[in-house]
Chain A
């Protein structure tokens, strides 16, 4: 591991040096000694619901570091705006919610500040897997992990019972259950293959053992069309082709209605799903159960991740130190962790989170072991490296898989991977990244 990342570390450290020198020349007054009585106001871009309420707790206690939440539409629009602001040289917030898969892109665009000097030993308070999402395998720290999204499986226990089914242990079980449920009631589906959600597909590929990007010497490798991802694509393509799996995108009014009226009776999702189901499937509350992910190899359980973000300081912030103080509190202080879990409904990444996550989420009030399952899942995360152009790969995913899902052909699913691979590699080469192969 260490060896593999050595060049990356060198590059990142060099970059960090540049950043530091650049800062010291321009912002020395702010960066030098922080005047404890200096009043600063920081802006914070996030799209997590109710984050303003969590921040209010901080503002009440820190009159000199006031944080203002600017609510964003979502991860993609926020990143778009941040990158545009970086390009323009002004307009970025001080603090930014950054999904793990976007961190390399943002670092590559010089949007996130390295705060390794400011965070000190904070690293020890987080699982190694979560921290690697902000360190990119180096000594740098491009933020503090906030939450994580280990994949889990959610299903309507009443429907499973009616069909004499148990929670699927393997993907074979899942396929059999999908078929049985759809055969019993042609309106019901155990799930849908959503071409809008590249993040979920990435998590599924991760579970199967894929790691789409990698670093080899001073060049990148891209492995989107590998055997593991092929296996996942052909599995879901097969289910869609058979007609036992729906092919409509998730997160549409239609999908929400389907969760609520019992035509979608299962959801491969992540630990944060209760928050969504609470809104979408209100009428079926009490009928859902959470389970570990179906496995490719039940003997060696693995999972992937969908979602999860870090909180980062941007390169345009003039108050790096204060911003770091705030995000450290936000993501590691027990009071904040409790607020994050209870008010913002996220699954904090910090080790201490287990102490605040005692009650199961309201939607799964009867399932006392909810966070035990989630905790197990987070330990089984397969390693996965994100590259500097995840956005390109994801938009290629959207287009190629939308066509494949509409065509309902398994062959089209696997062919889409070749398209993704080519688009991603071409883009990296065109931009001048060293790409092996």
Chain B
């Protein structure tokens, strides 16, 4: 009796939570089915039939610029996250499995890096990259995203938890080189954790606004966040743009949702794995 009642409450709470989280997504789904004149005039939650028209309009906006933004975002997030994962994995492994002078200094420095807000870094990063003549290029967004203190922090936890020291000793006795061991033994062992780091960094770059906003002047290099925010600004004086913004927002979250659903099992983020063990 008691148990059944509680499970109803549990179900209710979880469904309420899901509803709260889905409300804006539902709204954007409905809103993107409306034509520009319906958007703010018909009842908000009443769907309409113009989704396809809106997609066609979005596709037509300045010769398909929107898709270019999506492709750019995929490039920034994909390449950036891949490079960052590899770099983090190497660093995390070194910090977890080696003893060397300066280790704790390095680790504490990286931890401190986790705490620095992007807005603060953006201007000096811009000024420094401008000195190298690299602003307004893909590199301006890619290079700074290669380094992720948070990724290193996570990789260190994963390396500590998933790479047994005995196996490392064994490869050393076999005379295997350290870089070879890294490639053939360590990275495969850390695979699950590294997918998580990759996803983390992928989402972080996908969601980033400030860095590309400052670095890029050419809108053909924009990622989706900067592009959409520009459309929103234009919407202020050309309300027809709001439809493009809303439709664009909807389309932009589809790939990430797909990514989440397909890679669900990797979303097992144990921030304090070692802590539990100890």
Contact = CB atoms under 8 A, between A and B. Distances in A.
Interface of A: 43, 45, 47, 49, 52, 70-74, 77, 81, 84-85, 87-91, 93, 251-253, 256-257, 260-261, 275-276, 279-280, 282-283
B131 A85 contact: no
Nearest to B213: A77
Nearest to B219: A71
Nearest to A71: B219
Nearest to B229: A73
A91 B40 contact: no
A85 to B, nearest CB: 7
Interface in B30-65: 36-37, 40-41, 62
A325 to B, nearest CB: 22
A45 B217 contact: yes
A260 B135 contact: no
Interface string B202-230: 00000000000010011100000000011
- Cβ-closest 4 pairs across A and B: A88-B130, A251-B236, A257-B40, A256-B239
Given A52-B62, A90-B135, A280 B239 contact: yes
B252 interface: no
Main secondary structure of the interface of B (DSSP, over half): helix
Contacts of A45: 217
A70 B127 contact: no
A70 B238 contact: no
B244 to A, nearest CB: 12
25 contacts: A45-B217, A47-B234, A49-B238, A70-B219, A71-B62, A72-B217, A73-B230, A77-B233, A85-B130, A85-B135, A87-B127, A88-B126, A88-B127, A88-B131, A89-B131, A90-B131, A90-B135, A251-B237, A253-B242, A260-B37, A260-B239, A261-B40, A275-B237, A279-B239, A282-B36
Contacts of B218: 43, 70
Between A88, A257, A276, the greatest number of chain B beta carbons within 10 A of the residue's beta carbon is seen for A88
- Which range contains the number of B residues in contact with the other chain? 20 to 34
A248 to B, nearest CB: 13
A81 B217 contact: yes
A84 B133 CA distance: 13
Given A84-B123, A257-B40, A261-B41, A252 B236 contact: yes
B88 interface: no
Contact of A276 (B41, B230, B238): B238
A52 B237 CA distance: 18
A329 B100 CA distance: 67
Between B131, B217, B218, the greatest number of chain A beta carbons within 10 A of the residue's beta carbon is seen for B217
Nearest to B136: A91
Interface string B159-184: 00000000000000000000000000
A104 to B, nearest CB: 23
Contacts of A52: 62
A423 to B, nearest CB: 22
Contacts of A74: 233-234
A253 B135 contact: no
Contact of B217 (A91, A261, A275): A91
A90 B130 contact: yes
Contacts of A49: 234, 238
A74 B213 CA distance: 13
Nearest to A50: B62
B118 to A, nearest CB: 16
A88 B41 contact: no
A323 B238 CA distance: 29
Given A89-B130, A90-B135, A253 B40 contact: yes
Contacts of B136: 91
Contacts of A73: 229-230, 233-234
